[in-house]
Amino acid sequence: MPELTIFYDGGCPLCSHEIAHYRRLDWAGRIRWVDITRDAPSLAAAGLDLPTAMRRLHVQVADGRTLSGVEAFVALWARLPRWRWLARLVNLLPLRRPLEWGYQRFAERRFRQRCQEGACTIE
């Protein structure tokens, strides 16, 4: 069983590029990667709908909890070589609020753009 399930937008070039980088570092196979544009059943099983999942990065941890935004990134980084230091830094310093503030603005802009492209509905 994977330690994390990552729900990402495989139709977003920036997201896909970033996830491809992370996947290359998941040497131990600790993470399940779910492209939300291609796997509606996995979204539903996690209690997510497409518009919610499109708004920001979501991860589901092994105990079933779902994290999003900066919390999701920290959970991901903590399981990847070369990124663990960043997870530790965010956990040690008061960085979550400013990072979440910036991520929220970026994610909302990306969401609006993807919806204008027609990606926010399942056909």
**Span 44-97, pLDDT tens digits:** 999 999 989 999 999 999 999 999 999 999 999 999 999 999 999 999 999 999
H/E stretch holding 84 reads helix 84-92
Q: How many domains is the chain partitioned into structurally?
A: 1
Position 13 pLDDT exceeds 60: yes
Kindly state whether residue 86 falls inside one of the protein's structural domains. Answer: yes
pLDDT single digits (tens) 25-47? 999 999 999 999 999 999 999 99
CA 74, 91, 52: angle at the middle one, nearest 5? 35
Mean pLDDT of the chain: 93
Return the number of other C-beta atoms located less than 10 Å from residue 114's C-beta: 18
Provide the percentage of residues in the chain whose pLDDT is more than 90. 80
H/E stretch holding 102 reads helix 96-116
Kindly state whether residue 81 falls inside one of the protein's structural domains. Answer: yes
**CA separation for the pair 114, 119 (Å, rounded):** 6
Position 122 pLDDT exceeds 70: no
Kindly state whether residue 99 falls inside one of the protein's structural domains. Answer: yes
Return the SS3 of 119: coil
pLDDT at 114: 85
- CA dist list (Å): 16 to 34, 43, 50, 67: 11, 18, 17, 19
Q: Give the residue numbers spanning the domain of 35.
A: 4-116
CA torsion, points 91, 97, 102, 108, in degrees to nearest 10?
110
Average pLDDT over residues 92-117: 92
Position 20 pLDDT exceeds 80: yes
DSSP state of 64: S
Kindly state whether residue 123 falls inside one of the protein's structural domains. Answer: no
* pLDDT tier for residue 121 given thresholds of 50, 70 and 90: low
Kindly state whether residue 122 falls inside one of the protein's structural domains. Answer: no
Burial (CB count <10 Å: 0-12, 13-18, 19+), residue 18:
middle
Q: Which two tokens stand for residue 37?
A: 């544009």
Kindly state whether residue 121 falls inside one of the protein's structural domains. Answer: no
Kindly state whether residue 87 falls inside one of the protein's structural domains. Answer: yes
